[in-house]
């Protein structure tokens, strides 16, 4: 059994760390909340993997309070703590059940927050509007709550504020929230990107199309660009990359194993930029994922995890867990044009602790791509501009 401590700003953030490190079979042993530590370490979770159900562990009793913060924490605890069986032993948790419970608790939390007059200090209706907007855009309720708490802390003189006109206060709250969101968004600067960039991600999310857009953008900036397609199936994926290479007048190598990949990388040593396309792998295809991961181990450079902006939170979490072995260095969100629920972008950033790199917003190559920015994400979530 491996036991490790995880930290986070709140229980949700610490829990994501647990899930990302230990995966679906992690068992939460203890959760502690402290106020005498930096904010990002306020919640500490002790979790175990390969947990021995025969081992008796005393469960801390939690006082369920009507206070929203306490009930949130208690709710999170009840979701993450395993239930004792009839013999009093703790059983390993079932991932799917937890996901379902987490989902229903989150929904309940959202309703609770909206219906209860909100947290202490959130007395202005502008907070409720913003909370509703964040939840409607599918920002996770814990993250939404956390963002609004920080927003409230930023507004020093709320009493004076109440004397101002309603619309002024709403705009001010929105601007303060936008500031809070923007400070949390890290972006991988184009000038700091590694020479070799690999795109990985689930099937059909737009990796090959995005690779072509990126190739065109880098070439447009005067770089010599070459392409590699890792196609261990020897099926369709390579043909698409070859066609883009032909249209963009860039050399393409199709490789099927580590040896061929290494040879292709050496062959492209003189290029300013090497972009590696991989075929999509479903997270259910564990063998295929592991195989692709092994092949890519020889690559030194950037790895962009490509995900569609409209991805559901549960799927987002599962993908982050299963693609973690690939060592992603940034998140790239596609198909912004196909959703209005941009909350996954923010959720993904928080859960994965990776910077953003690009957004794509349409099928057109090379036009439908943009450099991700904190301002753009805040606008997508809050309609600022
Ligand atoms: N609406 C929209 N469609 C996109 C975007 N990016 C890619 N697509 C479309 O998504 C579909 C799949 O794109 P691909 O680039 O083949 O996806 P992939 O991830 O390489 O797929 P696999 O290699 O099979 O895993 C195509 O129809 C693309 O035109 C986007 O930003 N918006
Ligand atoms: Mg592809």
| Residue 23 binned pLDDT confidence (cut-offs 50, 70, 90) | confident
Pairing of strands 356-360, 330-334: parallel
| Residue 51 binned pLDDT confidence (cut-offs 50, 70, 90) | low
Measured in Å, residue 212 CA sits from the centre of ligand 2 at 10
- Per-residue pLDDT reduced to its tens digit, 336-365: 999 999 999 999 999 999 999 999 999 999
Ligand nearest to the CA of 364: 1
DSSP string, 236-265: THHHHHHHHHHHHT--EEEE-SHHHHHHHH
Q: Is the peptide bond before 79 cis (omega within 30 degrees of 0)?
A: no
Measured in Å, residue 199 CA sits from the centre of ligand 2 at 9
Identify any residues that bridge with 48 across adjacent strands, giving them in sequence order. 3, 27
Q: Please indicate whether residue 256 or residue 32 has the higher confidence score (pLDDT).
A: 256
Residue 188 has pLDDT above 50, yes or no: yes
Contact 43, 71 (CB under 8 A): no
Contact 360, 339 (CB under 8 A): no
Measured in Å, residue 134 CA sits from the centre of ligand 2 at 32
- Under DSSP, the state recorded for 365 is T
Residue 100 has pLDDT above 60, yes or no: no
Residue 219 main-chain phi, psi, to 5 deg? -65, -40
Which ranges of the chain would DSSP assign to H, the alpha helix? Answer: 11-22, 68-80, 95-115, 125-136, 141-154, 158-161, 166-184, 207-220, 237-248, 258-267, 286-296, 313-323, 343-352, 374-382
Measured in Å, residue 204 CA sits from the centre of ligand 1 at 5
CA distances (Å), origin 24, targets 93, 135, 304, 342, 358: 8, 25, 23, 25, 29
Residue 101 has pLDDT above 90, yes or no: no
Residue 327 has pLDDT above 90, yes or no: yes
- Per-residue pLDDT reduced to its tens digit, 143-158: 998 899 888 888 766 6
C-alpha 229/C-alpha 234 separation (Å) is 10
For the chain, what percent of residues have pLDDT higher than 90?
A: 52
Q: Please indicate whether residue 123 or residue 101 has the higher confidence score (pLDDT).
A: 123
| CB neighbour list of residue 79: distance below 8 Å, 6 or more residues apart | 98, 101, 102, 105
Residue 142 has pLDDT above 80, yes or no: yes
Half-sphere exposure of 302 (CA within 13 A, CB side): 24
| CB neighbour list of residue 53: distance below 8 Å, 6 or more residues apart | 85, 89, 90, 91, 92
| Residue 199 binned pLDDT confidence (cut-offs 50, 70, 90) | very high
Q: Is 76 helix (H, G, I), strand (E, B) or coil?
A: helix
Residue 5 main-chain phi, psi, to 5 deg? -95, 140
CA 271 to chain centroid: 32
Q: Which atom of ligand 1 is nearest to the CA of 204?
A: 21
C-alpha 36/C-alpha 146 separation (Å) is 18
- Per-residue pLDDT reduced to its tens digit, 72-92: 333 332 333 333 333 323 233
| Residue 40 binned pLDDT confidence (cut-offs 50, 70, 90) | confident
Residue 313 has pLDDT above 60, yes or no: yes
Q: What is the set of domains in the chain, with CATH numbers?
A: 2-108 (no CATH), 117-184 (no CATH), 190-382 (3.40.50.300)
| Residue 179 binned pLDDT confidence (cut-offs 50, 70, 90) | very high
**Average pLDDT of the chain, as a whole number:** 81
Residue 268 has pLDDT above 60, yes or no: yes
Residue 233 main-chain phi, psi, to 5 deg? -90, -25
Pocket of ligand 1, beta carbon within 6 A: 203-209, 237, 279-280, 334-335, 337-338, 360-363, 368
For the chain, what percent of residues have pLDDT higher than 70?
A: 75
Q: What is the pLDDT of residue 71?
A: 32
- Under DSSP, the state recorded for 226 is E
- Site to probe by mutation for ligand 1, drawn from 363, 364, 365, 372 as the one with most ligand atoms within 8 Å of Cβ, is 363
Q: Please indicate whether residue 115 or residue 119 has the higher confidence score (pLDDT).
A: 119
């Amino acid at each position: 059994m491996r036991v490790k401590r995880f930290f986070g700003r709140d229980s949700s953030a610490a829990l994501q760390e647990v899930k990302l490190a230990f995966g679906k079979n992690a068992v939460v042993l203890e959760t502690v909340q402290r106020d005498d530590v930096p904010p990002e370490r306020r919640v500490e979770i002790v979790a175990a993997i390969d947990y021995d159900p025969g081992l008796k562990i005393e469960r801390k009793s939690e006082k369920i309070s009507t206070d929203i913060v306490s009930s949130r924490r208690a709710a999170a605890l009840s979701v993450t703590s395993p239930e004792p069986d009839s013999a009093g032993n703790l059983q390993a948790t079932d991932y799917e059940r937890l996901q379902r419970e987490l989902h229903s608790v989150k929904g309940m939390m959202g309703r609770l927050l909206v219906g209860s007059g909100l947290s202490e200090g959130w007395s202005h209706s502008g907070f409720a509007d913003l909370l509703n907007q964040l939840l409607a855009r599918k920002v996770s309720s814990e993250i939404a709550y956390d963002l609004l708490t920080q927003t409230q802390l930023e507004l020093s003189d709320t009493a004076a504020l109440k004397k101002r006109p309603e619309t002024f206060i709403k705009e001010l709250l929105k601007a303060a929230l936008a500031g809070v969101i923007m400070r949390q968004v890290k972006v991988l600067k184009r000038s700091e990107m590694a020479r070799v960039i690999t795109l990985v991600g689930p099937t059909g999310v737009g990796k090959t199309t995005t690779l072509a857009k990126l190739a065109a953008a880098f070439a447009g900036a005067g770089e010599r660009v070459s392409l590699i397609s890792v196609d261990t199936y020897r099926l369709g994926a390579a043909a698409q990359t070859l066609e883009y290479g032909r249209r963009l007048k860039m050399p393409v190598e199709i490789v099927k194993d580590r040896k061929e990949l290494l040879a292709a990388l050496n062959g492209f040593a003189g290029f300013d930029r090497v972009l590696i396309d991989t075929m999509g792998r479903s997270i259910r295809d564990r063998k295929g994922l592991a195989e692709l991961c092994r092949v890519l181990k020889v690559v030194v450079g950037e790895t962009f995890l490509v995900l569609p902006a409209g991805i559901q939170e549960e799927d987002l979490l599962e993908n982050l867990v299963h693609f973690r072995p690939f060592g992603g260095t940034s998140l790239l969100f596609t198909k912004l044009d196909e959703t209005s629920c941009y909350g996954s972008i923010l959720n993904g950033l928080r859960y994965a602790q990776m910077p953003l790199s690009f957004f794509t917003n349409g099928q057109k190559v090379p036009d439908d791509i943009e450099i991700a920015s904190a301002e753009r994400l805040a606008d997508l979530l809050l309609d600022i501009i």
